[in-house]
Amino acid sequence: MTTPGDPLEYMSASRLKSFLTCRLRFFYEKVLQLPTPTTPNLQIGKAVHAGLEALHKAKWAGELPTTPDILQAYQESYSALEEQDAVDYGQKSREDCLETGERTLRAYLESDLVTDPRPIRGVEAYLRREPDELPIPLVGVVDLVRDNTPIDFKTVGSTPDLREEAWSHELQMTCYFLLLADATGELPGQAELVYLVKTKTPKVIRHQLPSVDLIQLERFKRLTDVYVEGNQRQEYFPSPGMHCRWCSFRSRCRAWGKVAA
């Protein structure tokens, strides 16, 4: 029997990354599913993604959406997301955040990428691979599939160092490779990351990653074994480090070791 937070029901790039970064935070976030505050950056990122989804779905359906259509979809999603999860704006103003996202989305709409001639084969494509050489099902949602290429959008605050980014997204890209290969029966193309940089003058940067190689596939497989075995043994312990800066479970974490966490 499984529960909504059962970590062995399936694995995803997000679950793997969370587990491998800090098992205690993974336990709070993915197993207990404790609520985490929605930051302004997260809110902007989600709403921009919703605008991109509206654009690509319309194009996939053979429509010709205008910029006002997509900006309206963005604004409606922004409000709907706020209703679902309250945003902790802190010192930031809602209007500034809304405007930042709109400016960023507009930059994409005015970029060459919007007229990419490759056919769209999926938008927010939910993919699931049943256990084979992997120990439990693998799932993932790919933002956009053009031809047989997975494309992922990242909304970021500053210009990324592309070599670092390719390294830090290895798990996600290997996951998409395995999912897409399974779904299509074809060898996926080189994955692409598209950065939407939320600077005052926003930038759009397309980064094509190297092909997934056999070593990455083997690393992925071994890490999935670590994930399954660690969860079977319920090994949830803190791993203090730089990532604690963005963790909202610090007070709970502090109690670990004194009382049952």
Which one of 22, 54, 127, 145 is in contact with ligand SF4 (CB under 6 A)? 22
**Does 255 help bind ligand SF4 (rule: CB under 6 A)?**
no
Q: Are 47 and 74 in contact (CB under 8 A)?
A: yes
Dump the DSSP string for the chain.
---TT-TTT-B-HHHHHHHHH-HHHHIIIIIS----PBPHHHHHHHHHHHHHHHHHHHHHTT----HHHHHHHHHHHHHHHHHHS-B--TTS-HHHHHHHHHHHHHHHHTSGGGG--SPEEEEEEEEEE-SSSSSS-EEEEEEEEETTEEEEEEEESS---HHHHHHHTHHHHHHHHHHHHHHHSSPPPPPEEEEEE-SSS-EEEEEEPPPP-HHHHHHHHHHHHHHHHHHHTT------SGGGGG-S-HHHHHTBTTB--
**Does 31 help bind ligand SF4 (rule: CB under 6 A)?**
no
Which one of 13, 24, 54, 134 is in contact with ligand SF4 (CB under 6 A)? 24
> Which of 19/108 has CB closer to ligand SF4?
19
| Tokens encoding 154 | 């990242």
Q: What is the dihedral of CA 108, 199, 173, 63, to 10 degrees?
A: -10
Which one of 107, 113, 136, 244 is in contact with ligand SF4 (CB under 6 A)? 244
Which one of 249, 255, 259, 260 is in contact with ligand SF4 (CB under 6 A)? 249
Give me the least distance between CB of 246 and ligand SF4, in Å please.
8
**Does 26 help bind ligand SF4 (rule: CB under 6 A)?**
no
**Does 33 help bind ligand SF4 (rule: CB under 6 A)?**
no
**Does 240 help bind ligand SF4 (rule: CB under 6 A)?**
yes
Give me the least distance between CB of 244 and ligand SF4, in Å please.
3
**Does 37 help bind ligand SF4 (rule: CB under 6 A)?**
no
**Does 206 help bind ligand SF4 (rule: CB under 6 A)?**
no
**Does 243 help bind ligand SF4 (rule: CB under 6 A)?**
yes
Query: How many residues interact with ligand SF4 (rule CB under 6 A)?
Result: 12
**Does 30 help bind ligand SF4 (rule: CB under 6 A)?**
no
Give me the least distance between CB of 254 and ligand SF4, in Å please.
8
Which one of 61, 130, 239, 255 is in contact with ligand SF4 (CB under 6 A)? 239
Residues making contact with ligand SF4 (CB under 6 A): 22, 24-25, 238-240, 243-244, 247, 249-250, 253
